[in-house]
C-alpha cells in the first residue's frame, strides 16, 4: 500500500498535541506537528476546561497537519481523559464551560449519593471504581447546587465527543469514554438509565453509544475548506486516552491462553490493569475498588487508577512558582542523590488530590504518620516516586488475585516512562521485568485504531504487531529486591494509616 497519514489529537493533563502517524503497510512513524498548553482555568473559585482556547488549538493543529502533508491526511480522532463532559441545550447551543474533574464541587458528594442509592447497587450496575469526580457524581453535584444548566440540557457529550461534534456536527457517545461515567452498564453495553432515574438525574441527555473505529464522517464543509483537508474523515479512536494507550501495548498473547502481562499507562495518573474478555463485576473487584472500563476490540480494561507523576509535577510547579527554574533533569539529579526507601506516602490519599503546596503536603503526611520527614527537594521526590512504585506492587498483587495466576511482565507505556528512576523502581518494588515503551502510546493507539477502521490493518492483534516492529522498548530487570521487600511492610502500614 502507498503511505497513508492519520492524525491523533491527544489532550493530556498539562499539554495537548497533534501527532501524525504515517503508515506504509509495515511500520508506523510518528511526527508531532503541533503542541499546546493544556490545563484547567480557575474562574470564581471553580475549575473549568478552556474549551474555546482548546478548540482554537485543535484547528491550528489541523492546519499544521494539512500543510505538512499537502492536505492528504486520511482521518483524525480526538482522545483525552474520562469523566468530564459538556452540555448542549436547544438548537445545540453550548451551555457554559465544561467543569474540570479537579473542581471542588464534588467534595463529599459520594456520601450523599450512597444515601440515595447503596454503593453496592451502583457498582453492580456500572462495575466502576468509586472516585468522587466520576461523571455520575459531577452531575449529582450540579443537581444539589440546583444548576440551571442541568435543567436546560438536551445533550451530554463527553469531552472527546464534544470535539468530534465540533469537527463533524455528528453527536454520539464513544463507548470507552462512556464507560467512565459510572452510569454505563458494561454487561448490557448500554446506559444504565434506571440508575440515573433513582438519583433524579435526566436520561434524555444520553445519546447513542458508538464503538471505537466508527467513522463519523467528513469534517464540516467550512472547516475542511479552511484547513485544506477536504478528504479527511473523523474516526472514533478509543477516545478515553487510556483505551488508546492500552491498544498500543506491544504485548503478544497466545490465543486462548491467560495473558501473563499487565500494563501501566503512566503519566499524571497511572492506570494499571489487565485486559479481560468480559466485565468482572464481583464483590472482590468492588472491595478492591477496581474498575471495568471499555477497551478497543470488545475487551474490558480491568484496572485501578493510581495517582502517578502528578505528585512530581506539582512539586516542580510549587518550587518554580516560588522563583526557581527546575527542569525535569534537575529533579532526576536531586532525587538520585538522596538515600532510598526512607519515607512513604499513600499517593491516593485525599491530601494529594489538589493541594495548594504539594511538597508541604508530602512532608505533612510523613510527619503525621511518624516517619522521617524529608527535608530537602531530593528527599521529597524520592518519597513520591518510591511511594508510587510501592503502590504498583500492591496493585500487582491484586491483579494476580483477580486473574488467577502470576504476572511475569509489566508493560509501562506513555510519557511517564521517560522517568527512568520510576521505571527501575517499579521493577525493584514489584520484582518483575518491566518493559517500557512506546512513549507516545496514546497517540499510537489512536492512529492505529484509525488504520483499523480504514481497513489498512486487519485487527487489534495485527496493530500490536505493527507497533512491535515500529518502536523500540527498554527493559528494566529487578534489582535489590530484598531491601524493597522489607520496606514494603512499612509502606503498607503507612498506606493503611487513617490520617
Rounded CA-CA distance 367/481 in Å is: 27
Task: Convert the pLDDT of each residue in 135-191 to its tens digit.
Answer: 999 999 999 999 999 999 999 999 999 999 999 999 999 999 999 999 999 999 999
Task: Convert the pLDDT of each residue in 278-290 to its tens digit.
Answer: 999 999 999 999 9
Task: Convert the pLDDT of each residue in 437-491 to its tens digit.
Answer: 999 999 999 999 999 999 999 999 999 999 999 999 999 999 989 999 999 999 9
| CA-based torsion, 56, 61, 62, 68: positive or negative | positive
CB contact at 8 A, 48 and 99: yes
CB contact at 8 A, 236 and 216: yes
pLDDT tops 70 at residue 255: no
Q: How confident is the model at residue 254 (pLDDT cuts 50, 70, 90)?
A: low
Query: Going by C-beta distance under 8 Å and a sequence separation of 6 or more, which residues neighbour residue 418?
Result: 328, 439
CB contact at 8 A, 463 and 469: no
Q: Which runs of consecutive H residues, i.e. helices, occur in 404-440?
A: 420-430
Question: Among residues 84, 241, 348, 456, which one is catalytic?
Answer: 241
Omega cis (within 30) before 438:
yes
Question: What is the reported pLDDT for 59?
Answer: 98
Rounded CA-CA distance 483/425 in Å is: 12
Q: How confident is the model at residue 133 (pLDDT cuts 50, 70, 90)?
A: very high
Task: Convert the pLDDT of each residue in 31-78 to its tens digit.
Answer: 999 999 998 999 999 999 999 999 999 999 999 999 999 889 999 999
* Largest separation between any pair of C-alpha atoms in the chain: 64
Question: What is the reported pLDDT for 2?
Answer: 82
pLDDT tops 80 at residue 313: yes
Share the mean pLDDT of the chain. 95
Interior angle at CA 33, CA 30 and CA 38, nearest 5: 105
CB contact at 8 A, 345 and 365: yes
Torsion angle, CA of 383/385/389/392, rounded to 10 degrees?
110
* Closest among 423, 89, 50, 13 to 241, alpha carbons compared: 13
Domains and CATH numbers, the chain: 4-235 (3.30.420.40), 249-437+458-499 (3.30.420.40)
Q: What is the mean pLDDT of residues 202-228?
A: 96
The question of whether 348 is a catalytic residue gets the answer no
Question: What is the reported pLDDT for 258?
Answer: 74
The full DSSP string for 88-150 is: E-GGG-B-SPPBPTT-GGGTTHHHHHHHHS-HHHHHHHH-----TTSHHHHHHHHHHTT-HHH
Query: Going by C-beta distance under 8 Å and a sequence separation of 6 or more, which residues neighbour residue 118?
Result: none
Amino acid at each position: 500500500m502507498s503511505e497513508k497519514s492519520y492524525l491523533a489529537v491527544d489532550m493530556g493533563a498539562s499539554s495537548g498535541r497533534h501527532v501524525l502517524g504515517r503508515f506504509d503497510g509495515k511500520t508506523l512513524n510518528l511526527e508531532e506537528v503541533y503542541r499546546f498548553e493544556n490545563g484547567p482555568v480557575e474562574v470564581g473559585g471553580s475549575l473549568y476546561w478552556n474549551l474555546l482556547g482548546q478548540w482554537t488549538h485543535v484547528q491550528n493543529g489541523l492546519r499544521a497537519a494539512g500543510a505538512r502533508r499537502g492536505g492528504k491526511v486520511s482521518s483524525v480522532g480526538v482522545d483525552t481523559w474520562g469523566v468530564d463532559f459538556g452540555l448542549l441545550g436547544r438548537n445545540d447551543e453550548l451551555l457554559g464551560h465544561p467543569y474540570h474533574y479537579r473542581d471542588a464541587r464534588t467534595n463529599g458528594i459520594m456520601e450523599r449519593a450512597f444515601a440515595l442509592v447503596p454503593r453496592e447497587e451502583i457498582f453492580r450496575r456500572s462495575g466502576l471504581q468509586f472516585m468522587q469526580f466520576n461523571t455520575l457524581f459531577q452531575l449529582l453535584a450540579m443537581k444539589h447546587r440546583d444548576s440551571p444548566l442541568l435543567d436546560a440540557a438536551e445533550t451530554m457529550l463527553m469531552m472527546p465527543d464534544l470535539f468530534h461534534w465540533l469537527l463533524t456536527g455528528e453527536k454520539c457517545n464513544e463507548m470507552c469514554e462512556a464507560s467512565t461515567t459510572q452510569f454505563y452498564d458494561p454487561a448490557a453495553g448500554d446506559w444504565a438509565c434506571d440508575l440515573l432515574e433513582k438519583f433524579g438525574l435526566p436520561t434524555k441527555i444520553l445519546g447513542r453509544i458508538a464503538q471505537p473505529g466508527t467513522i463519523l464522517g467528513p469534517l464540516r464543509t467550512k472547516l475542511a475548506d479552511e484547513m485544506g483537508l477536504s478528504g479527511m474523515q473523523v474516526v472514533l479512536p478509543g477516545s478515553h486516552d487510556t483505551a488508546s494507550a492500552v491498544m498500543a501495548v506491544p504485548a503478544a498473547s497466545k490465543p486462548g491462553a491467560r495473558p501473563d502481562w499487565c500494563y501501566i499507562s503512566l503519566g499524571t495518573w497511572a492506570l494499571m490493569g489487565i485486559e479481560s474478555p468480559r466485565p468482572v463485576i464481583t464483590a472482590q473487584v468492588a472491595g478492591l475498588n477496581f474498575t471495568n472500563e471499555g477497551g478497543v476490540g470488545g475487551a474490558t480494561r480491568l484496572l485501578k487508577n493510581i495517582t502517578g507523576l502528578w505528585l512530581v509535577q506539582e512539586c516542580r510547579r510549587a518550587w518554580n512558582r516560588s522563583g526557581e527554574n527546575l527542569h525535569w533533569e534537575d529533579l532526576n539529579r536531586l532525587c538520585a542523590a538522596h538515600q532510598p526507601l526512607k519515607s512513604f506516602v499513600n499517593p491516593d490519599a485525599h491530601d494529594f488530590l489538589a493541594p495548594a503546596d504539594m511538597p508541604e503536603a508530602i512532608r505533612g503526611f510523613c510527619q503525621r504518620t511518624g516517619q522521617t520527614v524529608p527535608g530537602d527537594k531530593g528527599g521529597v521526590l524520592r518519597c513520591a516516586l518510591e511511594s508510587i512504585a510501592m503502590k504498583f506492587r500492591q496493585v500487582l498483587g491484586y491483579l494476580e488475585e483477580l486473574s488467577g495466576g502470576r504476572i511475569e511482565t509489566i508493560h509501562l507505556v506513555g510519557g511517564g516512562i521517560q522517568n527512568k528512576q520510576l521505571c527501575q523502581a517499579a521493577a525493584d518494588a514489584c520484582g518483575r521485568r518491566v518493559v517500557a515503551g512506546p512513549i507516545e502510546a496514546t497517540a499510537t493507539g489512536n492512529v492505529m485504531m484509525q488504520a483499523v477502521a480504514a481497513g489498512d490493518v486487519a485487527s487489534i492483534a495485527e496493530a500490536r504487531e505493527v507497533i512491535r516492529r515500529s518502536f523500540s522498548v527498554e527493559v528494566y530487570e529487578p534489582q535489590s529486591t530484598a531491601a524493597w521487600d522489607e520496606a514494603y511492610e512499612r509502606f503498607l502500614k503507612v498506606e493503611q494509616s487513617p490520617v
